[in-house]
Amino acid sequence: MPQLVTLKIERPGHRTVRLWIPVLLAVVLLSPVLLLALIGGIIACLMFDMRVFATIAGVGRFIGALPGSRFHIEQGRTALLLIIR
């Protein structure tokens, strides 16, 4: 399960933005939205004849495998760095 997401955005003429987002805290704060998303996902699974529990388990495994991912995109003096720990 991801613990911390680090985001760094550099743009010319702007201050560098650095964000450290604790995933657990974000999940707790966004829990009402996540609950609605879960319900929407279940309805979508039922509409498209997908196995609900297998899909939820698959998405859980996918999220669980995210730590260690790193995305770094640079274009000239603009840069975006996203690290999932």
What residues numbered 56-75 form the site for other proteins, per CB under 8 A?
Answer: 58-59, 61-62, 64-75
Cα separation, 54 vs 37, in Å, equals 17
Angle between helices 31-47 and 52-64 (to 10 degrees): 130
- 18 makes contact with other proteins (CB under 8 A): no
Q: Single out the segment in contact with other proteins by CB under 8 A; choices: 2-10, 21-29, 35-43, 55-63.
A: 55-63
Size of the site for other proteins (CB under 8 A): 23
Of 4, 8, 6, 2, nearest in space to 74 by CA: 8
Binding site for other proteins (CB under 8 A): 48-51, 54-55, 58-59, 61-62, 64-76
